Amino acid sequence: MHFFIILRRLFLGLVSSIEEVLTTVALYLVDFLCTLFNLVTPDRPVGKVVPAAPRVWREVARLQQINGYRGRHDHTTGLIPRDGKNIQFKELTTAIRKVYNFSPVFCYFLANNAAQLLVRDYRTDRLDLSDLDAHNLIEHDASLTRVDTYDDPVQGKIATALVEELLSSGTGPGGNLTANDISRLLGKRRIESKRRNPTYSLALFHKLFGSFKYGISPLSSNGF
């Protein structure tokens, strides 16, 4: 009996990983087609590129002024509930698109990726934004703007001292931050964290992610 349960799980696991791979391939394909489409169709005129977001924010501002607006399910603006809870993944896709005006494929990719990370079903399941805060899911040690989870498990909290150090470390024109500055600071944070945090961990994925999100090469940060 156990044998069949194991077989069934293996089978279901295999089917879902094949599905994930196919989804990713399909997404890249659609994205590629969209890119081709954009190459041959005329550009949108200046001022008409981002239609949705400003309208959405104006609407929120208007409602806030009228009634100290705190709508939970935000049908008016089509954004996510303000408490960040119980959000459908597909709702997240639409909201990201409205606010950031990313490509539809990328918006789906982000929300679908969140579903995969949390091992949930994109079509039927829901998430609280705080679920994404789990240690070593996206959040990782040695970040430039948060202390390590070891020092404070509440990772929504911005570490003012770190941010001030970051902002005063620019060596570019007018004290602007350069890619080299970010590399240097990341390296410094990683070495310091490793030294003082007994639970320090930074998997390859998080090293890459930690560098790429600033647009710098992971190899340029010492302490890699």
Q: Name the site residues for ligand NAG (rule: CB under 6 A).
A: 173-174, 176
CB distance 177 to 170 below 8 Å: yes
Rounded least distance, CB 41 to ligand NAG, Å: 30
Rounded least distance, CB 182 to ligand NAG, Å: 14
Determine how many CB atoms are found less than 10 A away from the CB of residue 26.
Answer: 11
* Number of residues that this document lists for the chain: 224
Of 21 and 179, nearer to ligand NAG (C-beta) is: 179
Distance CA 82, CA 129 (A): 10
Enumerate residues 6+ apart whose C-beta is below 8 A from 26.
none
Six-digit token string for 157:
């909290």
DSSP structure class, residue 153 = S
Residue of 94, 186, 175 lying closest to 140 (CA atoms): 186
Of 10 and 167, nearer to ligand NAG (C-beta) is: 167
Rounded least distance, CB 157 to ligand NAG, Å: 26
Rounded least distance, CB 174 to ligand NAG, Å: 3
Six-digit token string for 187:
């390296």
Q: Which helix (H) or strand (E) holds 179?
A: helix 179-196
Of 65 and 176, nearer to ligand NAG (C-beta) is: 176
Of 42 and 173, nearer to ligand NAG (C-beta) is: 173
Of 173 and 215, nearer to ligand NAG (C-beta) is: 173
Rounded least distance, CB 25 to ligand NAG, Å: 37
Six-digit token string for 106:
């990328």
Enumerate residues 6+ apart whose C-beta is below 8 A from 111.
89, 90, 92, 93, 96, 122
Cβ-closest residue to ligand NAG? 174
DSSP structure class, residue 157 = S
Rounded least distance, CB 183 to ligand NAG, Å: 18
Of 13 and 172, nearer to ligand NAG (C-beta) is: 172
